[in-house]
């Protein structure tokens, strides 16, 4: 993926793995997120879709970026609140670190981790 350099001529090239790393870190920073996961995805989708570490990135023909993130959360947290905060943190991290503004960020809550309860911060 190439990003136009605002300082002059030339381009900056980013590997997909860098975007996945930024998205993973941004999701895990939110209190209540247990993990970013791909374990619950159907095996057929894992075979045929570009999917790394619980993050799916799609580049549309018009240059728009769509992101799907699959997370596990801890019991006792509000699912809509966690999903919104993860979306906002991913949006801010991408804008700050690589100057990208995604069109859509879809958060999929796969599981609620009940093994241990985390106190709200």
5 pLDDT more than 90: no
Distance CA 32, CA 98 (A): 26
Average pLDDT over residues 77-99: 94
User: Which CATH superfamily, name and number, covers 16-113?
Assistant: Cation efflux protein, cytoplasmic domain (3.30.70.1350)
Q: Which residues contact 107 (CB under 8 A, 6 or more apart)?
A: 69, 71, 82, 83, 86, 87
DSSP 9: S
The tens digit of pLDDT for each residue in 47-61 reads 655 556 788 888 888
């Amino acid at each position: 993926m190439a990003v136009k350099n605002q300082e002059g001529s030339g381009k900056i090239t980013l590997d997909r793995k860098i975007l996945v790393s930024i998205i993973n870190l941004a999701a895990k920073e939110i209190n209540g997120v247990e993990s970013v996961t791909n374990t619950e995805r159907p095996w057929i989708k894992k075979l045929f879709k570009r999917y790394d570490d619980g993050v799916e990135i799609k580049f549309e023909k018009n240059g728009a970026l769509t992101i799907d993130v699959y997370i596990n959360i801890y019991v006792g947290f509000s699912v809509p609140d966690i999903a919104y905060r993860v979306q906002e943190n991913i949006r801010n991290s991408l804008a700050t670190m690589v100057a990208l503004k995604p069109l859509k960020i879809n958060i999929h809550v796969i599981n609620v981790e009940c093994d241990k309860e985390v106190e709200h911060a």
